[in-house]
Chain A
Amino acid sequence: MESKPSVSPSSFVDQQVFPGDVVLDLSKMTNQTIKLGGGLRQDGDVISVMKAGKLRFSKPNKYWVESSHKRYVPSAGDNVLGIVVDAKADNFLVDIKGPMLAFLPVLAFEGGTRRNIPKFEIGTLLYVRVVKANTGMNPELSCMDASGKAAEYGPLKDGFMFESSTGLSRTLLSTPTCPVLETLGKKLAFEIAVGLNGRVWVNATSPSVIVLVANTIMQTESLSPAQQKIKVENLLQRLQ
């Protein structure tokens, strides 16, 4: 095999990486602190990739791999939509599409005491915040924000919930507002809750609006922003 002068690429940032790729050499970066997000792990003196996706870097020192999947990896601080699976004495067991069921303590509600424990039936949809998500332990949830207020968390009544990928949820929650939601919002009135775990809940006064919003979001997932606007306008005309 003839040997070409091997030129290793200096950086893989913003490129597609696959499991096993080595992206950082720590022996050349002493005295620096690096924060690793999802999809990367430390393997001795190098940082290597665990999941396939695009490598991203944010100043000053955060690296992570961006990928879109149907399952969710719980991480603290995320707002997710969970479904109650069981009610125990101390906490509710909630499914958040992760590797394990999550616990929602019975007292994690604003003004919650042992006397006014909410009664959630199996199958109730909740908008909750992930408080703790450690490896090997069940994640812990809460229906209060960091300062103890209720702040929109809690059960979601009526409406329609559909599941999609985590990538779509991130697009819907991005700033500036995603083009699909902006175009839909100009013509229709609806309420939407997006969970980072790939669940989206839509509510409106008439069922046809709910169906239109849900179908539009699902169908425009893989289109570019310009194509999304065109497609949304087409679908809106059908409603008129």
Chain B
Amino acid sequence: MDLEREGGRGANQLRPIDCTRNVLSRAHGSASCSHGETRVLAAVYGPKAGTKKNENPEKACIEVIWKPKTGQIGKSEKEFEMILKRTLQNICLLTVHPNTTTSIIVQVVHDDGSLLPCAIHAACAALVDAGIPLKYLAVAICCCLTESGQIILDPSKLEEQRMKGFVCIAFPSSIQSVISQGSADVGGESVGNGVITSLTHGVMPVDDYFQCVEQGRAAIIPLSNILKKRLQSQPASKQSKAG
């Protein structure tokens, strides 16, 4: 039984994604990313000298501050900060600037489902804008499981609340390579193996979980291409309004 989604979207169809770089004039790197109605703004400051007390001084330290749209900072914000920090620590090259701290501030502008993938894309784009050395970019996607056992991608807030369970997965993005890597290649692009982050809500059987991962992985290449195209076609910084 096929589920009817708002706006006539297919089960595997994603909402329109938009990403803009260099939106804040004072931050060292900034980006705003939107998945349909969900919008997140990310700013990067750094690298700055010195690490926190309990952090390894031989590596760069990444600090994430998550700011919700409304309300006080509580446990769920701390959880998002921890997830984002672990994801970004995976993609950043921490040994290039040892004994420094890079701060990433994520501000939720509007939450309409699929918030964590949107935040990961915004944070990645802001890191690229700031020139922080990265191993690869991260693309993330949210898959949820309906009552009838069907898997749909990129749910909106209403859909998320009605689902049995949903999972948010972050993968390394597809890369261009001069070496062909065998059958994983499609026209010069290759998809890395592995999952960076996986976060589940609700209950789902193990087989359905792996099915979600496979469906998400199938969406990496088109998603990476969209993000790269948006990141690339940015002109230099906005001109000053004075004069």
Binding site for B on A (CB under 8 A): 1, 3-4, 6-12, 16-25, 39, 41, 46, 50-52, 67-71, 73, 99-101, 135-136, 164-165, 167-168, 211, 215, 218-219, 221-222, 235
How far does the Cβ of A116 sit from chain B's closest Cβ, in whole Å?
Answer: 30
Q: A3-B183, A218-B240 are in contact. Are A22 and B176 (CB under 8 A)?
A: yes
Interface contacts beyond A6-B185, A22-B179: sample of 6 additional A-B pairs, CB < 8 Å, sorted by A: A1-B186, A9-B188, A20-B172, A99-B47, A99-B97, A215-B243
In the complex, are the beta carbons of A16 and B232 less than 8 A apart?
A: yes
Tell whether A7 pairs with B137 under 8 Å between CB atoms, given A68-B236, A70-B130.
no
Q: Is B128 an interface residue (CB 8 A)?
A: yes
Q: How large is the interface on B (under 10, 10 to 19, 20 to 34, 35 or more residues)?
A: 35 or more
Q: Contact: A4 with B130, CB < 8 Å?
A: no
Instruction: Show 29 residue pairs from A and B whose CB-CB distance is below 8 angstroms, ordered by the A residue.
Output: A4-B187, A6-B180, A7-B188, A8-B185, A8-B188, A9-B178, A11-B178, A12-B178, A18-B175, A18-B228, A18-B231, A19-B133, A19-B137, A20-B135, A20-B137, A21-B176, A22-B177, A24-B178, A50-B93, A51-B131, A69-B130, A99-B49, A99-B97, A99-B100, A136-B98, A219-B240, A221-B239, A222-B239, A235-B243
Are A71 and B130 in contact (CB-based, < 8 A)? yes
B134/A8 in contact, CB under 8 A = no
Report which of A10, A20, A67 forms a contact with B136, defined as CB distance below 8 A. A20
Tell me, rounded to whole Å, the shortest Cβ–Cβ distance linking B25 to chain A. 9
* Alpha-carbon distance between A6 and B177 when the two chains are bound, in angstroms: 11
Instruction: Give the contacting residue for A215; candidates B131, B187, B240; CB below 8 A.
Output: B240
Complex Cα spacing A222 to B236, Å: 5
Which residue on B lies nearest to A24, using beta carbons?
B178
Check if B114 is an interface residue, CB within 8 A of chain A: no
Are the C-beta atoms of A25 and B178 separated by less than 8 Å? yes
Q: How far is the CA of A166 from the CA of B169 in the complex (A)?
A: 36
Alpha-carbon gap, A164 to B22, bound state (A): 13
- Given the known inter-chain contacts A100-B100, A219-B239, A221-B236, please indicate yes or no for A22 contacting B47, CB distance below 8 A: no
Residues from chain B with Cβ under 8 Å of A211 in the complex? 243
Query: What's the minimum C-beta distance from B67 to chain A, rounded to whole angstroms?
Result: 22
Chain A residues with CB under 8 A of B137: 18-20
Contacts of A8 in B (CB 8 A): 177-180, 185, 188
Looking at chain A's contact residues, is the secondary structure mostly helix, strand, loop, or mixed? Answer: loop
- Given A219-B240, A221-B236, check contact A21 B130 (CB 8 Å): no
| Residues of B contacting A70 in the complex (Cβ-Cβ under 8 angstroms) | 28-29, 130
The 8 A CB mask of B209-243 against A (1 = contact, 0 = none) is: 00000000000000000001001100111011011
Q: Nearest-CB distance from A12 to chain B (Å)?
A: 7
B99 contacts A167, CB within 8 Å?
A: no
The 3 lowest CB-CB distance pairs between A and B, nearest first, are: A20-B136, A222-B236, A69-B131
Let me know if B203 is at the binding interface, CB within 8 A: no
What residue in chain A is nearest B132 (Cβ atoms)? Answer: A51
Contact A19 B97 (CB under 8 A): no
A69 to B134 CA separation, bound complex (whole angstroms) = 15
Decide if A23 touches B178 in the complex (CB within 8 Å).
yes
Does residue B20 face the partner (Cβ distance < 8 Å to A)? no
- Bound state CA distance, A73 and B132, in angstroms? 10
CB neighbours of A219 from chain B (8 A):
239-240, 243
List B residues 85-133 near A (Cβ within 8 Å): 91, 93, 96-100, 128-131, 133
B48 within 8 A of partner (CB): yes
Contacts of A99 in B (CB 8 A): 46-49, 97, 100
B34 at the binding interface (Cβ < 8 Å): no
The answer, among B128, B186, B237, for a CB contact under 8 Å with A18, is B128
**Closest Cβ of chain A: how far from B26's Cβ, in Å?**
9
Which residues of chain B have C-beta atoms less than 8 A from A215's C-beta?
Answer: 240, 242-243
- Judging by beta carbons under 8 Å apart, are B237 and A165 in contact? yes
Contact of A136 among B99, B242, B243 (CB under 8 A): B99
Q: Is B38 an interface residue, CB under 8 A from the partner?
A: no
Q: Is B173 an interface residue when CB atoms closer than 8 A count as contact? A: yes
Q: Closest CB-CB distance, B167 to chain A, in whole Å?
A: 23
In the complex, the chain B residue whose C-beta lies closest to that of A70 is B28
Report B151-210 residues with CB < 8 Å from chain A CB: 172-173, 175-180, 183, 185-188, 192
Which A residues lie within 8 Å of B29 (CB)? Answer: 69-70
Chain A's nearest CB lies how many Å from the CB of B38?
24
